[in-house]
A and B are shown apart, each in its own frame.
Chain A
Amino acid sequence: MATDKQSFYELYRQSSVGAALMDALDDLIMETRIDPQLAMKILANFDRAIAEVLQNQVRARLSFKGSLDTYRFCDEVWTFQLKNVTFKMDSGGQVVSADKVKIVSCTAKPTGT
């Protein structure tokens, strides 16, 4: 369970919603409507909020099956490479297949920076 005092990854800043937020903040800074320090705080809030929302609010699920080809665990990051993967959506939609899938996963609780 996340608390205010926990630290959060910055990796979701590269998602489309994170990129859109950064573009908007850039524009606000350019228009001198906010300071870069405020933009940093907003991004830190975004890091927290998106991690919490993904953990607590997003309930969509999928299951997948495939052959594990390669895996490694380095610097607290797991990497799995799968072959012949089929994804089954929670909503009962059609099965999605992929020849190769790479999964990069970080521990839910980042260690100290």
Chain B
Amino acid sequence: MDQIPQPASINDIENLVESLYQPNSPAVISRIQESLQALQKSPDGWQIADALLARSSDNVKFFGALTFVVKLNTDTIDDDAAKLLVQKLINWLVVSLDNGAGSIVIRKLCSALVTHYIHFSHLWPHCIRDLVYCLDLNKGDILDDAKDAAPVGDIFPSLTPQKAISVTWFAAALAEEGEKIDSRSSKYIALHERLVRNSQDVATIVAISLSGSAGPRVQRDAIDALHDWMTYGERIPNEQLTANLRPLLRPTIECLVVDDIYEAAIEILTDSLNNWQTFFTKDDYELLYSLFDSDWSQKHYQELIQGDFDFAAVKFGLLMIAFGDAQITELLNPSNERAQRFLSGLLGLLAAQGHLVAEDKIFVPALDFWATLIESMTDDLFSEPDQPVNWNIPPLSYLMQVVSHCWRKIQYPHISVYNAWDSTERVGFSDARKDVCDLLQTMYTLAGDSLISVFVDLTTQSLSTTAWAELEAAAFCLGSLSDCLPDNDSCDAALSKVFGSQLFDLLRQGHSVVPVRTRQTCLSLIERYSEYFVRRAEFLPAALNLLFGALNESHLAGPSAKSIYRLCSSCRAILTPEVGAFLEQYGMIRNSVPMDSLTEERVVSAIASIIQAVPEESQRLGAFQQLLMLIASDIEKAIQLKSISFMLEPNDPTSPSDSPINLDADESSMAVKSSPELEQLQANIMNILAQTKTTFHDSLQVMSDINHVVRAGFSETEPGPFVFPPQMVIDLLTSPWHVAAPTAVNTAQVFLSYVHNGGYRGQMRQVIDQLLPWVISYIGMLGHPSNDPELAQFSIEFIQKAIQRCPDVLSRVQPHSNAEYIFTFAIEMLNGKEPLPKAAAADFWTSFITLKSDDEGTQGTIDGAMNQFGPILALSLIQNIGGNAARSELDKLSDPLKKLVFQNAHARQWLEAALNDDSFPSDKVSPADRALFLKKITRATNQVVKEFWVSCRGTGLGYTS
């Protein structure tokens, strides 16, 4: 690719800037940018900027102004030069305005002036006044005379609209940049004080501009500037600033009714009501109430609720909601008629015409407001329980209307309408339904069981009129309340009206009668109220028959299987006599109904949960054997198919729990007792696993599933088919794993926790003796941790657990060089770049440093290893902390450092040597800094480590708090 020739003249630079705006390949543009940036940063940058601003092209002028910004931010100049510079910049602004330069040039010049002010505010503290004065007289070099000039309020009205706008842009940029500057830093306190002093002049120019005498464009820019100053005032609170800006609110509110500036005015008011409610005075709120009562508001409101969701209409709704949020205390007061009238308007926002999300853009924000209001009502009622509660007057009386509006709004439209929506609209619709669920759950706290009755009635009414969309919405709402119900039968009578109705009969009639979506929601309703069926077992057979019947419909199989699982799990004690029937039913449907793997897994899990509850052991194991045979036949088929080069994924009969189980918790040990039937079952399962492992040895998914099955028993607290004896697990683990070695080693380390806390604790030593050489063989084959970071991580985690459980295991590792190899490997992991292995190695060393043994020989081995590897460990830790590690790794690396300092007498000596080693990665810290670090390390180690790391990497890295 051709190199960009270095520009030799201003003309060349001008051409280069212009070429930046021509169609070019990204590579060429990138090279042009590099070349121009080099010019900006060069010592000639000041002269180049000046020269470019004299050119006629706006693009070139813009680049000139930008160059001034870059130079101000990167170069150091003295006050005299800075004073000349600001005069020059104002002169360029005057000239550019006179020449009719484009807004990009004027804005960039304003930006350059603001950058100058940020760095040199002491040279022209009253920047707004000075700028107005200079623009009025068309000169920049009279800055010193500005202090004797007439007040800003007298001069500003005489400026041309272009000049007035440029002052407003400057004022806006001043607040915008000022807000980004740390107000807590002593370096910038004076700057913020000067900004606050300027706010009086800003208020003056904004007030004059808002009067409208210079036209709507000036008004709009003035509102934008005010917005920036209010944001500044919100972030950096100051009474004087607030007092200066507050009088501008009233004229801003009055601007709402001016069409040309409606958008800017409504934006600032909505934003301020959302974020800075105390900025508004009582009079401001009164004015807004009057505004909402006006014909102008009524017109906008009617347009909105009649389905006009254009930008302006939605903005009006959002302003109402922001005002409602700010006035929530008043809205809760039943005696405030005006507030209640306004609240009824907010209620109406939930009933605007149009489909949710796809058309109606105001429902979701309005719903959010009502959720907040209901929470506030609940707080009020619970904080004053003696206060009389009257559901017949607002605001409480509105709540049932809220429920009604929500129920109507979440009803699915006709399928043709729904299918016409794009995916975002569908997802938005679904999300809005979930938001309604949240609101109903919030409301349940207030309304209690009466809310259940509302939806029970809506469900039964919709059933009787076969209004399917209404039925679906009612069932959906009823289902959403299931989590709120107390664990008693207080709502059973109401629920029986639904489950004892013709609902199940109708659902059984198929999609020609009831739409699929309604059937899906109603089937899920059974799952939601599975606890109800435990208490009202008379409805259970009908529910289960319905659910099993629905398995052969592809759209319903998923929710049906889910409901079957929940029902069988909840009602397992009632269903145990029927276990044979369930097995028979499953045996039939698996041959006749095509089910996906998740559906079948849920059905199998449902039956397994019933089997688990069978009290008599031989009957339980017999039932399990039947279920296992069905699964084994699936696996057999998969193996057969594999032989003809097909691949099927076997079902996981154990449904490994997704929930975390703390195997290291000190649970009471499980009593290990077994029966010949159980042993036979375990052997059968293990045979299936071994056969599957051999056949599918190249499939990571199958290997992972096998490990899941093995681990399933680790979380059991009673003997069972998956609670294998340790030797069985060891035999499986130590057999070849090909592609899945990391997964197997990970299982092995979980297995150690299981053995330690289960009924096999006495066998820990034998387990480690068999597994440790196997793990060491893997790391031996690895060579270096970076060759397989995952395997390295799990291996070192296994070894860490092994030495914690049996410290003497190290002295028994044969050959002895293997023990040394482990430590070297752990150091290599610590020195590496991979975050997880590095964290695992840090944990390993933390454990090892604190390792103690009652046996003198073992303790001698530990001490010997520590003395041998201590200096290397210290060097590795210091190199990491000295800048090699990433910031996120520092906390983890602080742990072994802390232990080393507190546990080992030689630690300081080792660390000192490491800090002074030639290989120390940073030249940014002096020997004195390193010595100080060593002294401070015993206190607040993590913080000291972080500070030292920043010093080593360079001050630039201290950018984050």
Contact = CB atoms under 8 A, between A and B. Distances in A.
A6 B275 contact: yes
A63 B442 CA distance: 12
Contacts of B888: 19-20, 22-23
B235 interface: yes
Interface of B is mostly: helix
A5 B886 contact: no
B461 to A, nearest CB: 28
B960 A43 contact: yes
A109 interface: yes
A1 interface: yes
Contacts of B953: 26, 30
A92 B183 CA distance: 48
A22 B659 contact: no
A40 B957 contact: no
Interface size class of A (residues with CB under 8 A): 35 or more
A112 B235 contact: yes
Interface in B297-321: 318
Nearest to B958: A36
Contacts of B271: 3, 5-6
Interface string B237-249: 1000000000000
Contacts of A10: 961
B960 A96 contact: no
Interface in A1-50: 1, 3, 5-7, 10, 13, 19-20, 22-23, 26-27, 29-30, 35-37, 39-40, 43
Given A19-B887, A94-B658, A96-B659, A88 B235 contact: no
Interface size class of B (residues with CB under 8 A): 35 or more
B960 A22 contact: yes
B519 interface: no
Nearest to B950: A26
A66 B184 CA distance: 41
Contact of B887 (A7, A22, A35, A61): A22
B562 A5 contact: no
Contacts of A40: 959-960
A38 B228 CA distance: 22
Most A CB atoms within 10 A — which of B184, B434, B659? B659
A23 B887 contact: yes
Contacts of A35: 956
Contacts of A36: 956-959
Nearest to A91: B658
Nearest to A43: B960
Nearest to B657: A94
Given A13-B960, A20-B888, A36-B959, A5 B659 contact: no
A7 B365 CA distance: 20
A90 to B, nearest CB: 8
Interface string B883-900: 000111000000000000
A67 B948 CA distance: 44
A113 B954 CA distance: 28
B922 to A, nearest CB: 11
A29 B953 CA distance: 10
B612 to A, nearest CB: 15
Nearest to B441: A63
Contacts of B183: 113
B960 A88 contact: no
Contacts of B434: 59, 61, 90
A27 B953 CA distance: 10
A95 interface: yes
B115 interface: no
B236 interface: yes
B960 A7 contact: no
B959 A65 contact: no
A111 B381 CA distance: 27
B659 A95 contact: yes
Most A CB atoms within 10 A — which of B236, B434, B960, B961? B960
Contacts of B385: none
Contacts of B108: none
Contacts of B50: none
B272 to A, nearest CB: 10
B193 interface: no
B227 interface: yes
A79 interface: no
A81 interface: no
B227 A5 contact: yes
B887 A26 contact: yes
Interface in B617-651: none
Contact of B235 (A20, A39, A113): A113
Interface string B655-697: 0011110000000000000000000000000000000000000
A113 B961 CA distance: 14
B658 A93 contact: yes
Contacts of A65: 483
Interface in B264-294: 271, 274-275
A88 B441 CA distance: 15
B274 A92 contact: no
Contacts of B275: 5-6, 109
B263 interface: no
A36 B227 CA distance: 29
Given A94-B659, A97-B659, A112-B235, A23 B886 contact: yes
A29 B235 contact: no
B929 interface: no
A59 B427 CA distance: 10
Contacts of B449: none
B431 interface: yes
Nearest to A56: B431
A37 B960 CA distance: 10
B353 to A, nearest CB: 23
B608 to A, nearest CB: 14
B961 A96 contact: no
Contacts of B961: 10
A27 B236 CA distance: 33
Contacts of B441: 63
A109 B274 contact: yes
B447 to A, nearest CB: 18
B483 A88 contact: yes
B660 A96 contact: yes
A35 B37 CA distance: 14
Most B CB atoms within 10 A — which of A6, A22, A26, A95? A26
B790 interface: no
B365 A1 contact: yes
Nearest to B665: A99
Given A3-B271, A10-B961, A23-B886, A29 B956 contact: yes
Interface string B545-574: 000000000000000001000000000000
A69 B235 CA distance: 35
Given A90-B434, A96-B660, A112-B235, 16 more contacts: A5-B227, A7-B235, A20-B888, A23-B887, A26-B886, A27-B886, A30-B954, A36-B959, A40-B960, A59-B427, A92-B562, A96-B659, A97-B659, A112-B237, A113-B183, A113-B236
Instruction: Give 5 closest A-B pairs by Cβ, nearest first.
Output: A19-B888, A23-B886, A36-B959, A96-B659, A5-B231
28 contacts: A1-B318, A1-B365, A3-B274, A6-B271, A7-B235, A13-B960, A19-B887, A19-B888, A23-B886, A27-B886, A29-B954, A29-B956, A30-B957, A36-B956, A37-B959, A39-B960, A40-B960, A59-B427, A59-B434, A61-B434, A65-B483, A93-B658, A94-B657, A96-B660, A97-B659, A109-B274, A112-B236, A113-B235
